[in-house]
Copies of this chain bind each other. A is one copy, B any other.
Amino acid sequence: MAMAGLYRRLLPCPPAVDFASSQGKQLFLESIQNGTMEGFYRLVSYFQTQSEPAFCGLASLSMVLNALAIDPGRKWKGPWRWFDESMLDCCEPLEKIKVRGISFGKLVCLAHCAGAKVEAFHASHSSIDDFRKYVMKCSTSDDCHVISSYHRGALKQTGTGHFSPIGGYHVGKDMALILDVARFKYPPHWVPLTLLWEGMNYVDESTGQSRGFMLISRPHREPGMLYTLRSGG
């Protein structure tokens, strides 16, 4: 009798390298020694699984907000203020996101609304050199994190549009570590930056625009204040 449902997908390698493989560990160690895993420590500390099949954008943003220690300004559970997807109820109704996912533009809106500083780049109005520059910038510090919006097809993965944060960079191999929030599907993996960029250049059929990436950092103002004001608290 076949068991119902799916237990993960096999990660297509190449082009990916599994984070926990011996080759993945080697890339990781070299990147640490090269100073391009400085953002990894905080980000991986808040690595999470998207809690719904269409919540990749929300989970990616929630991880980054927690990694940047941005205070949501209101309680999550018990006495604790904390981000998870359920706290990101701004810009687009959660019930709608559950069915259709979220667009790049709406996720940028949500990051602002949650109190972060966001710089958004559509692939069609940016370049791979820009992308590499920002990935480097956020890999060599823990002041910012990059969320990439890409089509999985470019990486030979099943599925279509996806969001995930980037956990580090290997200069010599020009590879980025994707902390894939669909952890029930694929483990974290290294991919060639050029292919990830290709995936970001696929046009999103629902908006007619290319995908892209966003740089998220702490605002200069008190974190959480913006959200608090908007929600009238």
Residues of A at the B interface (CB closer than 8 Å) are: 3-8, 19-20, 24-25, 28-29, 32-33, 41-42, 44-49, 51-53, 66, 69, 71, 73-82, 84, 142, 183-185, 187-188, 224, 228, 233
**A20 and B228 form a contact (CB under 8 A):** no
Which residue of chain B lies nearest to A71 when distances are taken between CB atoms in the complex?
A: B7
Q: Give the distance in Å from the alpha carbon of A181 to the alpha carbon of B185 in the complex.
A: 22
**A78 and B53 form a contact (CB under 8 A):** yes
**B79 and A49 form a contact (CB under 8 A):** no
- Chain A to chain B contacts (Cβ below 8 Å), 11 pairs: A4-B74, A5-B75, A20-B41, A28-B41, A32-B32, A44-B44, A45-B187, A46-B183, A48-B49, A52-B77, A53-B77
B residues in contact with A53, CB < 8 Å: 77-78, 80
Q: Which of B47, B49, B81, B183 touches A7 (beta carbons < 8 Å)?
A: B81
**Nearest-CB distance from A75 to chain B (Å)?**
4
Given contacts A20-B45, A32-B32, 4 further A-B contacts (CB under 8 A): A3-B73, A3-B228, A8-B69, A52-B77
**A79 and B6 form a contact (CB under 8 A):** yes
Q: Which of B5, B74, B233 touches A81 (beta carbons < 8 Å)?
A: B5
B residues in contact with A76, CB < 8 Å: 184
B residues in contact with A42, CB < 8 Å: 20, 187
Known contacts A29-B32, A47-B44, A47-B45; A81/B187 CB under 8 A:
no
